[in-house]
Each structure stands twice: as C-alpha cells, then as structure tokens.
Structure 1
Amino acid sequence: MEELRGRHGTWRLGPEELRMSFSGGRRVPALLKALGSCTVPLAAVADVDFDRGDRKQGWRMRLRLVEGADPYTGLGAFESEDLTPLLLTGAHDKELIAEYFADQISASARMERETAQRPDPAAVCRGLVARLPFQARTGEGRAVFDGSRVRLSWDGFFASTAKQTEEQREYPLPEIERAAWQPPVDLSEGWLRIVLRGVTIPGATDISHDFFTLATHGVKGNEEALLMAATVNAHLAGAVVGEEDGAGPGPGSGPEAIEAAGGDDAETVFAKIRELGRLREEGLVTDEEFTDKKAELLARI
C-alpha cells in the first residue's frame, strides 16, 4: 500500500480505496481532527486536481468525486475549497513525490471505474462524515445527531435570552429536508441551520429567535458545524436512495409522502402542525396562515 504524508494527515492508496487519516496537532483544521479518518472508494473518484504551487505555499491535491458523492458541496451559499477531507497539501520539496502519487490515484481510479461496480454515492458520503453519535459545540450551544434526530441545545454563553428560555428542540430525521451551513463573515455570525420539509423561515427573522439554528461566533465551532451539516445531509441522502432502491418510503420521507399520506404518515403531519404552531407563537406565521395550512395538512391524512 502506497502512502503520502501531507501537512495535516496521510493518504494511503490501496487496490480499491483511498484511506485518509488526520493528525491531532494544533494547526490541524478542527474539521479534520473531529473527523479522524475516512475512506473513499476509488471507483467514486472522478478526477484528481494537482497544483505544484510554489516554495512558500507548497503543493495541493484535491479529489473530485462522482456526482452526489461529496457531502461537503451544496451546503449553503458559501462553499470552501479548503474545508474538506478531500484536500491534501504539503511542502514544496515533496512536489514530485506528491505529483506521482496523484497520477497513481488517477490511474487506479480510472481502472476501478471501468471494472468495478459503480459505488452508491450515498454510501460514499457516509464514509466521509462523522461517526455517530456526533456532537458539535459552538459559543451558543450544541447540536447532537444520533442518526434518527438532531437536537439543538442553547446553553452557551452567546445564547440569547429567548433561546436560553427555549433550552432545546429536537427534529426527527424524516422531517428534515437538509442541513445548511454558513461561516462567520466579518462581524456577522455564522450558523448551522436545520431546514424542515415544508417550513420556510422568513428572511427577516433574527438569528437570536431562530429556533432552527445554532449560531457560531468566530472560529469556535465553525468547522464542527460544517461537519455536522455534512453528516446530517449524508444520512438524509442515504434515506432517499433507500426509497429509490425499492426499500419503500418511510414516514414523512419527503413532500410526496405528505401528499399521499395515509395512516402511517399521520405522525409526520401532526409534527408539522405542531411546528406551525410554534412558528405562530413566535409571530413568524399569521393565524390565517396557520389555519389554512393546518386544514390542508389534516385533509391529507
């Protein structure tokens, strides 16, 4: 097994997969330390970008995966090429060794794509995110994901009075459409946001009253929040693929499940009504909007 050591970890090239392990040093990105290690099937590697760089910056190697296999893309409006386990960098004096290793990955991946069975993109995603249960902590509180639900708790120093009073909320995985992430920019707060199916947060909502969001302030918890978003989305993708493969839809597994809701989906419908009730109490939904939507949901049971 060939291997290449970079600034923040080591990549090991096997006959069918690329294994990545990350060190725990002070300068290692928090995302990589929280992740620890991960594995990518070579058949899922579409391309390898390699940049020799210069004496100051050194070389950069970045894997590009087949469509739907990278859980760190599409998380929100902001996307960082540096915050991903699919990037390895190193000192300039090792550029020839690193370039040879990149060529080896490309050749091995090309052979695997031609001869091996196409990997399940959702399974590849789950191999690139945190092991469960996973917790991300920020200055406002913490998010915990156990594979079945996400719990947001606001017990940190920066939590608003409203969120401290609320203490926590839980969101079952079937009710979640996706997780979104935004890093802090200048003096603004970053956040991890749980986006529920059929629930829209008004754009004017202050983050201190947004009970779908865990805020980040500066670097504390920012990368762990990114990893949490990627982890939730990877498990959501697995649930969707399971339906397409004939496993059958689970309760509340998508908007279409509510449209055709039967007895098995009643719990999901009632959960949405409860959530609408919370939004009405917080002034984010009018009484008329609540009544109309409640009647619409009840009619679908």
Structure 2
Amino acid sequence: MGDVLAGFHAAWEFASDSVHIRFERGIRTPKLFQALVERRVPHEAITAVTLTPGRRGTVVLHAVPRPGADPLMDAAAGQLKEASDPYRLVLPVERATLAEYYADELRPLISRDSPVRPAGRYLVAPPAPPLTFKAYDGKAAFDGTAVSYRWSWTGASSTKWKAGDQKFPVADLSGVEWRSPELFEGHLRLLRRDEPGPTGQADQDPAAVVFGLGYGPVHESLPFAASVLAAVRSAGPVASASAQPSPSGRRDPADIADRIRHLGELHQAGLITDEEFLSKKAELLAEL
C-alpha cells in the first residue's frame, strides 16, 4: 500500500505497517481533530475495519481500535460522539468502491491476532506534553512527570482552597477518570495508588478539576487525560507516595492579593476558621 484516501476532515495514508491519519484544519473540522493534527496507528492497534452507509450521501470507513492500544480512546471510555471519533473516516458515497478496496487491503494485515485480546502496551502515541487546560475551578498542567492544579479563586470550593494548590507525580498515580464536559458533572480526576478509588464529589476532591460551560472542552481535556494515562502506564507499578501541595516558587503579587482577598471572603462567610485563615494567609505571603 502507500496510497492516500481523502475524506471529510481527514485523509488516511496506508503504509506497509500502519495507517497515518492527517486531520484537516477548518471551521467545520471537529476541534478534537484539529488538536490531534495527525496520528500514526500501527496495524496491530486495529482489530477490524468496517465500511457502512453514512448520512446524507456518505459512507464511513471505521478502523476499530484494539482495547488498550490507544490512550486517547482508553481515557475517552466510550464517551466520544461519533463525529469526534478519530477512527472514523467519512467519505462521499461516490468513493465507496475505493474505500472498500482499501478496507480489503487492510484486513489481512490486521487479522494476525485475536481481536478480543487487549494490547499489552500503548501502540498509538499520546499527545506530547507540556499540556494545559482551564477548568471551572482551576488550571491543570502536565509537564510529563507531574500533574499540577492551581485553583481559581472564583470557582474552587473551600475544601480545595484549604488543601492548597496540588502537584501529583506520575509515579503516585494509578490512572485517570475523565468524564466528558458534554455530560453531566464533567471532570478530570487523578486516581492515586494510595487510595482504593475516587473519594467524594469532584468539586470537593483536590485530585480533581471540574468542567463546565466553556471549561475543560473535549479537545483540550481529553488529550491531556490521554497523555497522563500513557505516562502512568509507562511508569509501571511503583511504591506510592502521598500527593503534596505544589510549591510553585515566587508568584505574581497581584495573584497573591486576589487569593488572600478570596480567603478573607471565605473566612467572613464562616467557611474556614480563624486558624485556617491565618495559616493559609501565611502560606500565600511566603510565596511572594
């Protein structure tokens, strides 16, 4: 092979060992595709190829990914809408015969393994860090070795403010829980090795950031989650360590002033005690 099949929003190049997907940039292209730019999918990461009728005079060529082969699809956990599925290529019905030809060429190359056997490692590369996105209650950042949360003084709960900004080394994590911002109670939660499972609501959990209208969109938060998940899996099982608040060095004095002002509002509202107010205020002043 080595030919290219162009469809709406993407083009698939069929190589001897993989399918190279290049996504278009444009106002009608799903934002997730634009964020991904391109992906190389090895044949062993695919379990099946189908061609089915689409909507409004189209056909859909679909490469079914093997479970555990792609961190993006693992993180998505079936929550992606069809239009945002990077393994679907939508084509004009006039190209159905050509699409079937490529599907027939590809099928023998992916039938060497049982389609039900999960991949032992990630075969599709995750989005590369550093990555950031803005959630409703804070900003999340991933540098490849640790995830950091910096709480927003306008959106974070008093529980998160009391806990302080967070930093979670990859070695301390066992996985991620991504709930799409297009669903109810969307969030990104980090799963820690020293805890059996998620603890409480995401808006009260210092290991989670909460999405909302305009916050944590799929094209930003899902690649972030996939990159973290791939790093966790690469790190393998290690001795766990407790997540600690992130010492972020010197900060903008204006930002510190805003945080102290918000802390005062929480104190006046009776949400934190005198001792908690004075302790946290001292921590903030120490960062100047």
Both proteins in one fold, TM over 0.5: yes
Cα offset for 1:181? 0.7
TM-score normalised by L of structure 1: 0.67
Question: What are the within-5 Å matches in structure 2 for residues 17-36 of structure 1?
Answer: 17-36=18-37
Which moved further from structure 2: 221-230 or 100-109? 100-109
Would you say the 8 A contact 1:60–1:89 is kept in 2? yes
The equivalent position to 1:214 in structure 2, one of 180, 204, 209, is 209
Cα offset for 1:202? 6.4
Matches of 2:108 and 2:212, distance apart in 1? 43
Matches of 1:91 and 1:161, distance apart in 2? 53
Would you say the 8 A contact 2:71–2:122 is kept in 1? no
Paired letter, 1:69: A
Would you say the 8 A contact 1:122–1:234 is kept in 2? no
Cα offset for 1:185? 5.5
Q: Equivalent pairs: percent with the same residue?
A: 25
Q: Does 1:180 align with 2:181?
A: no
RMSD: 3.3
Structure 1 residues 21 and 137 mapped into 2: Cα distance closer, same or farther (>3 Å)? farther
User: Who is 1:8 aligned against?
Assistant: 9
Cα offset for 1:230? 1.8
Q: Does 1:46 align with 2:36?
A: no
Cα offset for 1:219? 5.5
Structure 1 residues 72 and 131 mapped into 2: Cα distance closer, same or farther (>3 Å)? closer
Matches of 1:173 and 1:137, distance apart in 2? 20
Cα offset for 1:16? 1.3
Cα offset for 1:217? 1.3
Would you say the 8 A contact 1:54–1:92 is kept in 2? no
Structure 1 residues 33 and 50 mapped into 2: Cα distance closer, same or farther (>3 Å)? same
Matches of 2:31 and 2:165, distance apart in 1? 25
The equivalent position to 2:129 in structure 1, one of 124, 132, 140, is 132
SS at match of 1:50: strand
Structure 1 residues 65 and 140 mapped into 2: Cα distance closer, same or farther (>3 Å)? same
User: Who is 2:143 aligned against?
Assistant: 146
Cα offset for 1:148? 0.9
Moved over 6 A (4+): none
TM-score normalised by L of structure 2: 0.70
Count how many residue pairs are aligned between Structure 1 and Structure 2: 241
Task: Name the one with the larger helix percent.
Answer: 1
Cα offset for 1:130? 0.6
Would you say the 8 A contact 1:45–1:63 is kept in 2? yes
Paired letter, 2:31: A
- Note the residue ranges of structure 1 that are not aligned, 5 or more in a row: 115-119, 241-252, 258-267, 276-281, 283-301
User: Who is 1:297 aligned against?
Assistant: none
Matches of 1:155 and 1:75, distance apart in 2? 25
Matches of 1:172 and 1:68, distance apart in 2? 22
Q: Does 1:65 align with 2:65?
A: yes
Matches of 2:42 and 2:77, distance apart in 1? 28
- Note the residue ranges of structure 2 that are not aligned, 5 or more in a row: 114-118, 246-270, 272-288
Structure 1 residues 185 and 45 mapped into 2: Cα distance closer, same or farther (>3 Å)? closer
Would you say the 8 A contact 1:179–1:194 is kept in 2? yes
Paired letter, 2:37: G
Structure 1 residues 65 and 208 mapped into 2: Cα distance closer, same or farther (>3 Å)? closer
Matches of 1:156 and 1:21, distance apart in 2? 40
Residue deviations 1:73-106, cap 9 Å, x none? 4547753363442222233333332232222222
